[in-house]
Amino acid sequence: MERWAEPPGCAHTMNIIAVGISHKTAPIEVREKLAVPESRLGEALRRLCAYPGIKEGVLLSTCNRVEVYAVVEDVDAGYARVQEFLADTHLSLSSEQLTPHLYWLTNDRAIWHLFRVAASLDSMIVGEPQILGQLKDAFEAALTHKTSSVILNKVVKKAISVAKKVRTETKIAETAVSVSYAAVELAKKIFSNLSEKTVLLVGAGEMAKLAAKHLVSNGVRRVMITTRNPQGALELAERFNGVAIPFDDFRRELAEADIVLCSTGASQYLIRAEDVQQAVRRRMNRPIFLIDISVPRNIEPAVKDIDNAFLFDIDDLEARVEQNLEVRHREAAKAERMIEEEVEGILHWLKSLDVTPTIVALRKRAEEIKQSEIEKAMGRLGHLSPQDRSAIKGLASAIVNKLLHGSLVTLKVEANGASSTMFVEAAKRFFDLDNVSSDKNEDVPVVSEPDLDREPSGKDR
């Protein structure tokens, strides 16, 4: 069970927590019990936010993770409520069975984790694109059911923005990390443009079918299919909108194919060097790309020695995948640094939430006192001209602004400091602000107050 202590200076009246399980902490039989289908997401979100102390909630449920992001008043109580919620999701799973698989994160660690999840740095395959769409859907559900408000709205939107930035400014998703995608990547190196190319699929192995699917989606024009089972070949041809070829005749069709994908259970070579040599001759030396995903191999290795014939076997493709994974992990290091910077920005904003209500309350208290004293003065002074009244109001406003200026500037400057809580509490006591109502989660940054940055004039602002 993972849990990080809150570092000094990061305490908030409202806390962000993340509690969940993933492929790193729980087997599939536990994850599938906690998974929440889309049809039940609204009910689950309403149930989550009905627990005492949970002010906001977002639920991310995928095949590899189930996570709750929540805004809570008390961290330990929030952890307990979310664990209870997760256990109640599947009644056959007790809290005792669930606890060993959970991770628990607070404030900066929770935000850091969310940003990494969004950017697919915490995924089973680093750089995969699906998780960002899944997070967007989870956030949309929370907005629809009104379980996300000011704090999670800001944090999740920033997580989505950071993930897009990572994908734009790094190469974390540019290289192929599956055998089928690696085949397409290599094909693109041989044929810079796959449009108008023809692929021949020999056999019905899953990886070869997946590679054929990717090739078609990348522009391959025509698919020919042959298997020892004629009915199977016809079904595949229908699936790929291609043509079925009798198995005994496929060697004569090699010259028609720009790309050959071979994946059968045969124990001997089905395509020999002389077959490919003859095909290249008939193709007038136009290149032919052959991918042998069969184990044992079905294409004679001597094909590699033929000019304009490019043969890759399963080991070649897996070596390519390993190389690409190394590239992704190098790019992931860049992404980690980007995320650290973005987390700092959100933490500063969160700290400003503690200061903003105090500034609002202080201004409100000052305004109440000012108005009360103006009314008393006006009553004692009797009949005054409009100009005199305006002058009195301007004088009162100028005095209030000058008196408040130093305090407001200090609160703004200290909003992101380690002692922000101390300054907020001091301001509340000095100015007796505990009984002044203000909106704690007002979504305005303190740093946008222009009148705090310069000495106020005598004019009524």
Catalytic residues: 63
Strand boundaries in 65-204, DSSP class E: 65-72, 103-106, 198-202
What DSSP designation does 254 have? G
Spatial contact of 115 and 343, defined as CB atoms under 8 Å apart = yes
Q: Which residue has the tokens 């664990």?
A: 83
Distance of CA 457 to the CA centre of its chain: 47
Q: Which amino acid is at 419?
A: S
Q: Which amino acid is at 16?
A: I
Report the alpha-carbon distance of residue 161 to residue 167 in Å, rounded: 10
Q: Sort strands 259-262 and 288-292 into parallel, antiparallel or unpaired.
A: parallel
The encoded tokens of residue 421 equal 């809580």
CB atoms inside a 10 Å sphere around CB 223: 23
CB atoms inside a 10 Å sphere around CB 95: 13
Contacts 24+ apart (CB under 8 A), 379-387: none
Angle at 98 between CA 97 and CA 102, to 5 degrees: 145
Q: Which residue has the tokens 């004088």?
A: 395
Edge to edge, what strands does the sheet with 222-226 contain? 243-244, 222-226, 198-202, 259-262, 288-292, 309-313
